[in-house]
Amino acid sequence: MKWIRRLFLVVLLFAGLLVAGMFFADSLAEAGIEAAGAQALGVKTAVEACDVGFLSGTFAMRGLRVANPEGFGDAAFLALADASVAVSGWTLMSDTIELPSLTLNGIRVNLVHGVGGSNYGALMKNLEKFQGSGSQPAPEAPAGGAAPGEGEPSSVDASDEEGKRFVIRRLLVEDVVVNVVPLKELFTEVSIPIDRIELKDVGSDSDKGVLLADVAGIVVEAILSRASVSSALPAVVGDALQGQLGQLSGLSGAGAKMLDDLGKQIGGVPSGVGDALKGLTKRLPGLGK
């Protein structure tokens, strides 16, 4: 009977370690996502909860919030309702994790534009520096005069960063609304709905895949690329977005291909954005297919 008692104790110990591991895995996942957002965009990123299922091979997240740079209000730049992914548990042990699919659902983006600057301009400059473009212009000043992002986490070049890397075969972003908010009544506030954005082969251009921070930047770039050619977008914002997007390399550099018809995603493309659309198509392989 002594061996049965020992076996029972071993089982209890194993179960306790497994439960503890799963608990700390959730906390580690939250910390990793928050660090990745801050690293890519240079602003505070917070997650409400993560659920890592080692036995089921699943991951779920809810309540992600990316703050605005300083000087552009207390509302979030980006809020995500939930995310989910399924992956074989054994692949989590490798340095590069291949995900068959990743789904992000319920994203709200606030683009704040003023005479002296914009929140998306400040964030994309941080993202450009993170992507290692070599161009590191001074921070854009908001309408109030203070440099945006002061006191916020600084962005860095990801080329030397270590950590888990990912290849995502299908990245689906659903139920997106981009709100364009003027400072000092420059134009009327507008909302741009985007039903879905689908990317494939994210990280495929590298043997090592991409870091989690790269994925955060790629999602933001994809959303802004879609919004930048909407007929509802004020011209001053559209021109600024398209110019700044041209400096980024996250989508093309990661081998990501954007699928689905662009016009269907944003409710029609106006005749005045033909040149911009051609430029986006050259920069993003697979756009509009």
Residue whose structure tokens are 């548990």: 89
Label residue 13 exposed, middle or buried (CB < 10 Å: 0-12, 13-18, 19+): exposed
Alpha-carbon torsion, ordered 30, 32, 36, 37, to 10 deg: 10
| Mean pLDDT taken over the chain | 74
Q: Is 121 exposed, middle or buried (0-12, 13-18, 19+ CB in 10 A)?
A: buried
Locate 29 and state its tokens: 């996942």
**pLDDT over 90, % of the chain:** 32
pLDDT tens-place string over residues 141-180: 444 444 344 334 443 443 445 678 889 999 999 999 999 9
Amino acid 260: pLDDT: 54
User: What's the pTM value of the predicted model, to 2 decimals?
Assistant: 0.73
Hey, is 251 helix, strand or coil? helix
Please check the confidence at residue 220 and state whether its pLDDT lies above 70. Answer: yes
Helix (H, G, I), strand (E, B) or coil at 128: helix
pLDDT over 60 at 216, yes or no: yes
Domain ranges of the chain: 2-283
Predicted local distance difference test score (pLDDT) of residue 2: 53
CA dihedral 285, 164, 101, 220 (to 10 degrees): -50
* 228-243 burial: b if 16+ Cβ within 10 Å, else e: bbbebbbeebbebbbe
pLDDT score of 123 more than 60 = yes
pLDDT at residue 89 in the model: 61
CB 68 within 8 A of CB 42: no
